Structure formats: structure tokens, C-alpha cells
Amino acid sequence: MSTPVLDFVRAYAEKQGLRLHMPGHKGRGALGIEGFDITEISGADSLYASAGIIAESETEAGRIFGANTLYSTEGSSQCIRAMLMLASLWARERGLPARVLSGRNAHASFLTAAALTGTEVEWIWLAEEESYLSCRISPEEVDARLAQEPFAALYVTCPDYLGQMQDLAALAEVCHRHGVLLLCDNAHGAYLKFLSPSRHPMDLGADMCCDSAHKTLPVLTGGAYLHISRRAPEVLWKNARRCMAMFGSTSPSYLILASLDAANARLAGSFPAAVRSMAAEIGCLRPRLAALGYAPVGEEPMKISLCPAARGYAGEELAEVLREREIECEFADPDHIVFMPSPDTGREGLVRLTEALEKVPRRLPRRETPPSMPRPERVTDIRSAAMSPAERVSAEKAVGRVLASPSVSCPPAVSLVMCGECIPEGAEAVFAYYGITECTVIKE
């Protein structure tokens, strides 16, 4: 498989010519990769008007994923904003409101996307026993909601941060029966394409999805894909580059573009077999971890999410213990710890993790559980809240105020209260449990 972007930047670096163009390092610097870091010089193509080597590379990626595919150098966040813009354009063309139904475990970039595009959002609420990071979406509930009022799209996060999966095929059937688009935040699941059978949203009926290539594929941080189904309405693909350009820098990173391009050769080669092998190894590891008191969570094949309460630890405590052994997790909160291995972790990496977990001293089981989160009341829409004058106040003083923007870190970037909602009594205990000390609220 060809790698035209990588070939171009490599050849340009080897010429060692006089660079009288951006960037300012002129191909030299402490990192050693500056020679590959270029701008849109002659022959380098242009990301949002690609007709040369970038378009060729995107076409190769599209062949791998079975979709119309565009590159992002600004992660899935850029793709999510473009998806909502495209859904809004499609809805307006059909005389429908730009309204989206979504699970409440949506990433913070979905909220900023709704604010920037003016998309109205109706929420599917969490079940009482669910973590705020997960939100089971039943086809039956979606069917009922779509029958009640018009929507442009259903937006789902699958897989979510804990590795919970949705029945995308069933959700796609319901959406398409109602004439509604299915959008999927597949940021954590690019590798799902390479399972047998594929569990990728493009193969399960989604109309659009984002993949954070950098999360699970051999790609530099920031590399992502916007995929649009070849069965989706034509207007989506016709406007895709325009919408990506609206939310992207005019100076995209060629280091990231070259990384996405280089990945194509590996994805078309040995990577699928390596994914399946690693997924099988992780599948065999789960019962062993459960026997040690680390309850596995979620069904995602390549994510190891554990609830260590039976071993006697909060997730954050366990993360510190492992950090002392030079093992860094992806995410930890009081209830969970999340690891994201890849084929490049290798069997030896899984063995190292398992041996470290075995050596963690057992303690009495941890009984503390999250306080119940009262259901917030919506006061205004997301856009109005996000565009309002705002101030940061302590979590205790935020009760009774309207949230202007989510007070969450990344990871996991999932908000307990949404923009435009009044922070209810009792929320302060939940904020304290998850270490949220301040909130950004609308000025009174």
C-alpha cells in the first residue's frame, strides 16, 4: 500500500534545501523530527481542499475502513463538531429541527460542538446503577423517543470510557426506520474494524462516526478520522470538507498527517492479526483478574477496565500503587481503573501488569459508593449557556446556579451536569466524591 504523504515529507527532508517558508525551525531542532514538519508547500497538498497526496492517502484509509474518510489532525473533537454541523445541514435541508438525541455520557467536545453549531440536544438519562461514564441506550427507548418528536440524529458514545458497548446494529435499524441519522463517537474504537467479525460503526449501520486513530492505532496524538458511510445521504459527504475546515486549524500538522498515512500500510498488513491476537490474550486475562478481586467492567475487547473495590482499593489508590512500579494507567477515579493496551504492548506488557496487580496487598473490601446524583433541571439551551458571561465558583457555591461549561478534566471529559442545567441540591456531594472543586456558572 502506498504512503504518499510520508514519502513526500521524507523526500523533502532528505533534500536539505533552503526552507524559506513556515515553520520557523526550518527543519532543525532538538526533537529530531523537525525535518518532517512542513506546511502546505508545492506538492504537499492542502488538508481541507485535498486533491493530491493527502486525498490519495485519505482514499487508502477509506478503502481500509469501507467508508468515505477524511483526516483530522485535531483529534475526534474536530470530527464531532463536523458531524453535528453536517447533521444540522441535513436536517435543515429536509425542513427538520437541528435536534439530536444523545446519551448523557457524551464527551465534553460534544457539548462544545452543540454550542458552536446551535444544535439542540435532548438527553437519554443514565440508569440509577450506572456510572456517569456509561449510558445504556435501548433500541426500544430510542424508538419511543423518535416517535414522539422529530430529530435529526441519534448520537451515541460507543465504546465508552469504561468499555461498555451499544447494540449499534439495532440502533441503526431504529434510526433509519424513522428517517434519522445515527452518529457514533467511536473515539476509543478505531481498532474494532480489525476484529473478526468487524464491530466498527461503519459496518454496523452508523451514518457517521469519528475514530481517534491515536488512541488505539499506531498514530501520533491528534490523528483521527471522520468516516461517512457510503450509504449515508449524499449531502453529508458533499459538505464534509467544508465542515471540517470550519473547526480546524489552517496549519494542520504534517507530522500527524504523515503518521496517519504511514499507519495505512500497517493497517492493511499485519495489524489486524495482531489486534485479534491481543484481544484474545486480554479475554483470557479477565477471569484471572476477577479471581484476584479486580472486577472487570465492560465488553470492549481491547480495554481493561477494573473495579478494584473487592481488593480493597479505590481506583485512584491503585493507580498510585502501580505508578510506583512504573505502570501508568489511562484513567482512574474512585470506582474504576482503566488500562488501554494495544498490539504494541505485547504479551510481556500484559504479564508485567498482571504480576504487578498480583503483588498489590489485599485489604478489606472497599464499601464506599458514589452518592446519588439528583436529576438536574434544564434552564436554557447549551449554546446560550456556553455563550453567556460566566464565573468560576466553588462546587458548594455552585448549587442552584446554571452551568456555563463543563468542569471536567480529560480524561474522561464527561460532565455530571450539562451546560444550561441548574446544579441541584445534593450535587456537591457527588462533585466532592469525584474531586470536582470548582464549577463555571452563568453570572447572575
Range of the domain at 429: 377-442
| Residue with the three cell numbers 453529508 | 236
The answer on 252 and 299 residing in a single domain is no
Residue type, 327: I
The answer on 179 and 78 residing in a single domain is yes
Q: H helices then E strands: how many in the chain?
A: 17, 16
Task: Determine, yes or no, domain membership for 38.
Answer: yes
Neighbouring residues of 117: CB distance < 8 A, sequence distance ≥ 6: 81, 84, 85, 88, 98
Task: Determine, yes or no, domain membership for 364.
Answer: no
Distance between CA atoms of residues 283 and 280, nearest Å: 5
Cα angle 177, 178, 182; round to 5: 85
Task: Determine, yes or no, domain membership for 321.
Answer: yes
Task: Determine, yes or no, domain membership for 431.
Answer: yes
Distances in Å between the Cα of 43 and the Cα atoms of 27, 56, 216 are 17, 12, 30
Domains in the chain, number: 3
Specify whether the CB–CB gap between 174 and 124 falls below 8 A.
no
Which DSSP helix (H) or strand (E) runs through 282?
Answer: helix 271-291
Which grid coordinates are listed for 360?
A: 498489590
Q: Enumerate long-range contacts of 288-292, CB under 8 Å, 24 or more apart.
A: 288/354, 289/354, 289/357, 292/357, 292/358
The answer on 131 and 22 residing in a single domain is yes
The answer on 280 and 247 residing in a single domain is no
The CATH number assigned to the domain holding 336 equals 3.90.1150.10
The answer on 434 and 324 residing in a single domain is no
Task: Determine, yes or no, domain membership for 94.
Answer: yes
Distance between CA atoms of residues 347 and 278, nearest Å: 8
Strand ranges (E), 57-96: 68-72
Of the residues 235, 267, 299, the one at which a domain ends: 267
The answer on 163 and 131 residing in a single domain is yes
The CATH number assigned to the domain holding 402 equals 3.90.100.10
The answer on 411 and 284 residing in a single domain is no
Which grid coordinates are listed for 321?
A: 500503587
Q: Concatenate the DSSP letters of all residues of 319-369 into one string.
A: HHHHHTTT---SEE-SS-EEE---GGGHHHHHHHHHHHHHHSPP-SPP---
Neighbouring residues of 442: CB distance < 8 A, sequence distance ≥ 6: 385, 388, 389, 390, 401, 402, 403, 404
The answer on 354 and 215 residing in a single domain is no
End-to-end CA distance of the chain: 59
Task: Determine, yes or no, domain membership for 8.
Answer: yes
Task: Determine, yes or no, domain membership for 370.
Answer: no
Which DSSP helix (H) or strand (E) runs through 120?
Answer: strand 120-124
Q: What is the pTM of this model?
A: 0.96
3-state secondary structure 165-234: CCCHHHHHHHHHHCCCEEEEECCCCHHHHHCCCCCCHHHHCCCEEEECHHHHCCCCCCCEEEEECCCCCH
Can you give the pLDDT at residue 157?
98
Quick count: other Cβ atoms within 10 Å of Cβ 272? 19
Q: Are strands 153-157 and 99-103 parallel, antiparallel or unpaired?
A: parallel
The answer on 35 and 16 residing in a single domain is yes
444 residues of the chain, pLDDT tens digit each: 789 999 999 999 999 999 999 999 999 999 999 999 999 999 999 999 999 999 999 999 999 999 999 999 999 999 999 999 999 999 999 999 999 999 999 999 999 999 999 999 999 998 877 899 999 999 999 999 999 999 999 999 999 999 999 999 999 999 999 999 999 999 999 999 999 999 999 999 999 999 999 999 999 999 999 999 999 999 999 999 999 999 999 999 999 999 999 999 999 999 999 999 999 999 999 999 999 999 999 999 999 999 999 999 999 999 999 999 999 999 999 999 999 999 999 999 999 999 999 999 999 999 999 999 899 999 999 999 999 999 999 999 999 999 999 877 778 999 999 999 999 999 999 999 999 999 999 998
The answer on 303 and 338 residing in a single domain is yes
Of the residues 326, 359, 392, the one at which a domain ends: 359
Specify whether the CB–CB gap between 198 and 192 falls below 8 A.
yes
The answer on 110 and 22 residing in a single domain is yes
Label residue 387 exposed, middle or buried (CB < 10 Å: 0-12, 13-18, 19+).
middle
By C-alpha distance, which of 30, 8, 34 is closest to 19?
A: 34
The CATH number assigned to the domain holding 125 equals 3.40.640.10
What residues form DSSP beta bridges with 354? Answer: none
Can you give the pLDDT at residue 35?
95
Task: Determine, yes or no, domain membership for 369.
Answer: no
The answer on 282 and 261 residing in a single domain is no
Specify whether the CB–CB gap between 242 and 226 falls below 8 A.
no
Of the residues 325, 359, 393, the one at which a domain ends: 359
Label residue 14 exposed, middle or buried (CB < 10 Å: 0-12, 13-18, 19+).
exposed
